[in-house]
Amino acid sequence: MADITMTIDTSGMACPMPIVKTKLAINKLESGQVLELISTDRGSKTDVPAWCESTGNPLISEEERDSKFVYLIEKA
C-alpha cells in the first residue's frame, strides 16, 4: 500500500471541477508522492484514468468502496 500524502474528495462537483481540483492537488505534491482522490460520481471512472494517461501521472489503483470511487495517483 502506497503512503498517501494528500486526500481530496470531489463528490458533488460539476465538471470540470473534479479534474481541476485533482490537477491543483497533484501540483502541490513532489514527484513520487501519492494523491488519494475520492468521488461518488461514476463518471470519474472515465475521467480519472484518462487524465492520468494524458498527463503521465501513474494511476496506481482504482477501487469501489461503500459506493465511493477511490483512486491513488502518483505524481510523475
Partner 1 sequence: MLEVRTFDTTSLGDRSYLVDDGEVAVVIDPQRDIDRFLAAADERGVRITHVLETHVHNDYVSGGLDLARRAGATYVLSADEQLAFDHHGVRDGDVVESGHIALRVLHTPGHTPHHLSYELRDGDTTVGVFTGGSLLYGAVGRPDLISPAMTDELAHAQYRSANRIAEELPAQTPIHPTHGFGSHCASVTEDILRDGTIADEQQRNPVLTLSEDDFIEELLGGLHPWPAYYAHMGPANAKGPEPLDVSAPRALDVDELRRHLDDGHWVIDLRSRRAYAKRHVRGTVNVELRDDLPTYLGWVFPWDSPLVLLADNAEDITEAQVMLARIGIDHPSGAATGTPDDWAGDDDGLTAFTVVDWNDLAEREAAGDEPFVLDVREEWEFDASHHPRAVNIPFYELPDRMGELPDADVWVYCGTGGRTAVACSLLERAGRGTVMIDDFALPGDTPWEDAAEALAG
Q: Which positions touch partner 1 (CB under 8 A)?
A: 8-17, 19-21, 23, 40-43, 46-47, 50-51, 54
* Shortest reach from residue 75's CB to partner 1, in Å: 17
Rounded distance between C-alpha atoms, residue 11 and residue 1, angstroms: 24
Q: What's the grid cell of residue 10?
A: 470531489
Spell out a b/e string for 41-63, using b for 16 or more CB atoms within 10 Å of the CB, else e. Answer: beebeebbeebbeeeebebeebe
Q: Residue 15 catalytic?
A: yes
* Shortest reach from residue 1's CB to partner 1, in Å: 24
State which residue, 4 or 15, has the beta carbon closest to partner 1: 15
Enzyme catalytic residues: 15
